[in-house]
Structure 1
């Protein structure tokens, strides 16, 4: 005789802790009475939403919560039937050939949504496009946690809005194809522009809102530049579809040309009020050339930036507005990082003299590429001294400079790390940490891999040490990068991994590089594919030279910039 199953009345008002423990909760708190009685942390009653698998209809347990209508839409603009249908039609028309995430896309992504931060973990050395697509939904979409890090803006200026809600009116007024590309920019490209996608991501807020703020030539130039960058990215993602591929290239070039035309109107009579839009346009066009197209013409835009910035030496708009500062520091960062790849000595420029010294005064300088101010200044110093040495001008105090850089970059001399980054079995331990601690750990981890890569750059550019001398640094950068990728899904700065990869000689290290290349080469960014070709050529030439001279590959010094020059590349490491 079978025993009758006890009937259980399920409640949806229990705290998360009681639900996981399968105990009755009094629904009052936090903390609730059961959690208080057992002296355990009460996780509260916050909303946690997840995507339902479109094929099976399943979703992770203990994650989905109901939300009443009033709470869901409180403070949001009310859209009429026509506006709603327009958004839905735009999403229905998205080509699945480039949008692997269509099943989880929503026309309401412009609204800020908080969700769980559980990341899929893969130990496989390779990643196919289907798994990448799944990871991208988790880590590269606008549904990433809105409070990943505390705000880097400590000033009272609250103009950097984390929400795109103010731009909805402009979004609805766009032609359908342009609205689709703008949506692709905000939901796919913007999270790839910054290693830590948070509410302070300027490519989700500052750039779109600046492009849609008015109809001036400067704003229109940025608007078309954004559409061009988006279309080039779609163009790269659609290479398996020749007909659509050619169409997207044509669309991208059309908006690229329109941006240049509008920009030329603005640059002739640029006002201080148009500084943000013009500077953001120049930066976006540079990214479109070097990142999306893989063209060497991206440096031409930097030449234009130098002349443009000099017009504002007296006004210094980057000191008056958070938006201006965010855009200006991106220009300064991009210049310093990109010059480490330049095969020609360049020296200091107007961008460095005017921008870097000014915008770097804020403590959060460098957050958009996941590096600290002191490290970026050291990178700039190393580059400048390497250029002098290449010209035969060896400074008398070179030894002192090298020693000071080594001390500054030492892990023992870094106040930014207030967490133990080398805990045993750190991946599994991280999964058990509270979400805020995971975020803090990843922040410190990215800072450290950038610092370690700068050590490699110092040994590479000035000390001319063979790979054997930096083996431990290479392994450290790559292992930190793999942990970061497993936790975040692959949105990581290109410069530190590339610098480490050029000195990777051990099979285990090269396998980690290949894992990163496999993921990053499927993001629709052409400079990742160029990086793969360049790295493979460096490894090949080093192995051949080692075999010809009876050496191990880690004893062979290889000037990767010389290899780049022979291949006709000019890699944008952003």
Structure 2
């Protein structure tokens, strides 16, 4: 009998290819993997580098794209146009129509300065050391060295300059959706997103260890699967985090963004570890990235990402529990970072509003800080990374208190960590990751404290205590009337060389914060009606929409929520709807829950105004009571 030959089609999933068995080719998980209880690694095209000297490459992977796959999604350029794109890609100066659309012709620059044995600190690090009395070489987690490279960097090779490389390296992985019609669709296809405002500034020469880190990080961004991840899902989701999500988590994506420097570098260290307990942050980032990507895809297309994120969230939770049961000094940065990411993953990106787990994680993080505080006077002074984690959790605690109904919160609920809060807020750059500063976050903290005091005074009918509380509130209001000045902007940017456009956006964020705190103070301490804050409400919502139009990063949601619930005029309500309609499409599930609460507040106010035959601006409603009646619990992050 003649031998039967078959032609290989290369359509099997990667798991079946590795096992050398016939694949069912089902989407998204093949029947063979499902029946065997194995994780299906999917059908994506994987590219590898071919060694130029030996011609060898990793087996079972593709060496090149077909022509159609390579140029999919790009215009049909002529040879002359392609030559122009290639010639101009290094100069980055041409502004013709060809350069207004994403192009595969991009470059990255490598360090050209000599490598020195000394490290010249950034102005930010110098401020930290001066404030805390730190030594030149931070102790503890080795991520401090990596952060030196990532945060700004030295050389012209900062993380932001690898964006094009990062986006191009994974362009075929998510090509399962229709042709892109929005920014989210462009992201899902892996295409380069439009350049947003960024900044970098030069630093002195680096030592040899930092040069090694630059090579390592370049490899990490270029080929994360070979550097870190054991599975395709980890590589894909870690890439989504580093290339997109991390840039969307701060108002101004400058070189000081810890979400794309501090957090991923610590996570990368963990990914290289064989100890599962030490990989809590890495797993938490994978989970958060998966949930964000699922929200971008929608419920119909994001089921697989939700399942993957749930699995990694469970692994992160288990690792954190083990670390909390036996805390050590070396765990401080990693555990706090994991808890912070888990709070955001469970609340901001999962089914927001229905979850109460974020409060448990927040309380656990505060207890963890107190445990280390008992052994070390200021654990956050160990290095820049420790301060970043501590100030972030302290900021979460301040914002969380404002979302609790005053009837369920006792005075001094933050008293146990008051020392931590005061020390963290003493740093001038406290709050920069949410678009605020130490002065503004401290004002929120003080107003919340006054709100608790006046509630307790009225509960015991102590009229004498009412007047001094009101005077203190009016003093805070007067201080907030001072608009953000150049010194505030300089402190926020920490000496980074920036454009006038970026400086203007920073000032808008600071003014947004100040106006919303005035609303919060008047409504919750002075008990003024919505009509008394109508101008502030319009100012906040106008600024929020302007920042959203600029597409320069995240708009911190607390100021917008505080203003939107007090909107009663058609103009202000239209601005609020416009903002939240767009915010809901950016992958944050808690935006939908907030919008629901806001609409319910508006409905209740209109109903009460109709029943009382009065103007809507005279009807005061506590939005936190509405939130409680709806059965949701929102952290405004």
Report the TM-score, using the length of structure 2 for normalisation.
0.66
- Number of residues of Structure 1 aligned to a counterpart in Structure 2: 469
Instruction: Return closer, same or farther for 1:436/1:88 CA change in 2, 3 Å cut-off.
Output: closer
Q: 1:382 aligns with which of 447, 451, 471?
A: 447
**Given the superposition, is the C-alpha separation of residues 164 and 511 from structure 1 closer, same or farther in structure 2, using an over 3 Å criterion?**
farther
Matched, 1:59 2:99: yes
- Structure 2 partner of 1:410: 481
Contact 2:512 2:544 in 1 (8 A): yes
Q: What are the ranges of 5 or more consecutive residues in structure 2 without an aligned counterpart?
A: 1-82, 113-154, 158-164, 204-209, 491-496
Which stretch of the first structure deviates more once superposed, 395-404 or 477-486?
395-404
Q: Does the Cα contact within 8 Å between 1:306 and 1:350 map onto a contact in 2?
A: no
1:161-176 → structure 2 map (5 Å cutoff): 164-165=217-218, 167-168=220-221, 171-172=225-226, 173-174=228-229, 175-176=231-232
Shift of 1:217: 4.6
Where does residue 541 of structure 2 map in the other structure? Answer: 478
Corresponding position of 2:624: 561
Determine if contact 1:310/1:350 at 8 Å carries over to the other structure: no
Per the TM alignment, residue 330 of structure 1 is displaced from its structure 2 partner at its CA by: 0.7
Aligned residue among 579, 583, 606 for 1:543: 606
Structure-2 separation of matches of 1:86 and 1:412: 39
Is residue 92 from structure 1 mapped to residue 169 from structure 2 by the alignment? no
For residues 388 and 352 of structure 1, do their structure 2 counterparts lie closer, same or farther at Cα, with a shift above 3 Å needed? same
CA distance in 2, matches of 1:73, 1:415: 33
Contact 2:252 2:552 (8 Å CA) reproduced: no
1:179 maps to 235
User: Alpha-carbon deviation of 1:399?
Assistant: 2.7
What whole-Å deviation, never above 9, does each CA across 1:54-105 have from its counterpart, x for those lacking one?
xxx94339x99998x895686899xxxxxxx9997854122554996xxxxx
Instruction: Say if 2:368 is the partner of 1:308.
Output: yes
Structure-2 residue corresponding to 1:522: 585
Q: Report the equivalent of 1:340.
A: 402
CA distance in 1, matches of 2:167, 2:545: 38
Report the RMSD for the aligned CA atoms in angstroms.
4.0
Contact 2:484 2:510 (8 Å CA) reproduced: no
**Residue pair 1:90, 1:177 contacting (<8 A) in 2 also:** no
- Candidates 304, 308, 311, aligned match of 1:254: 311
Distance 2:418 2:179 in 1: 42
State yes or no: 1:297 paired with 2:371. Answer: no
Does the CA-based 8 Å contact 1:502-1:560 persist in structure 2?
yes
Q: Work out the CA distance in 2 between the residues paired with 1:88 and 1:235.
A: 21
Contact 2:199 2:498 in 1 (8 A): no
Which of 234, 259, 263 pairs up with 2:293?
A: 234
Q: Is the 8 A contact 1:211 1:219 kept in 2?
A: no
For residues 289 and 211 of structure 1, the distance between their equivalents in structure 2, rounded to whole angstroms, comes to 18
Moved more, 283-292 or 389-398: 389-398
Does the 8 Å CA contact 1:282/1:301 hold for their aligned counterparts? Answer: yes
- Give the Cα–Cα distance (whole angstroms) in 2 for the partners of residues 375 and 131 of structure 1: 32
Residue 150 of structure 1 and its aligned partner are, at CA, apart by 11
Shift in Å, 1:166 = 7.2
Distance in 1, matches of 2:202 and 2:396, equals: 24
Closer, same or farther in 2 for the Cα pair 1:573/1:310, shift >3 Å?
same
Does the C-alpha gap of structure 1 residues 207 and 171 become closer, same or farther in structure 2, counting only changes over 3 Å? farther
Distance 1:89 1:453 in 2: 42
Deviation at 1:205? 1.0
Q: 1:380 to 1:272 in 2, by over 3 A?
A: same
Indicate conservation of the 8 Å contact 1:505/1:553, yes or no. yes
Using the alignment, how far apart are the partners of 1:86 and 1:132 within structure 2?
17
**Unmatched 5+ stretches in structure 1:** 1-10, 17-44, 78-84, 101-128, 152-157, 420-433
CA contact (8 A) 1:98 1:237 kept: no
Cα pair 1:490 1:519 within 8 Å, conserved:
no
1:48 aligned residue (64, 85, 92):
92
3-state DSSP of counterpart to 2:613: coil
**C-alpha displacement of 1:415:** 6.6
Structure 2 match to 1:203: 259
Measure the CA separation in 2 of the matches of 1:477 and 1:448.
8
TM-score between the two structures when normalised by the length of structure 1: 0.73
The answer to whether the Cα contact below 8 Å between 1:90 and 1:179 also exists between their aligned partners in 2 is no
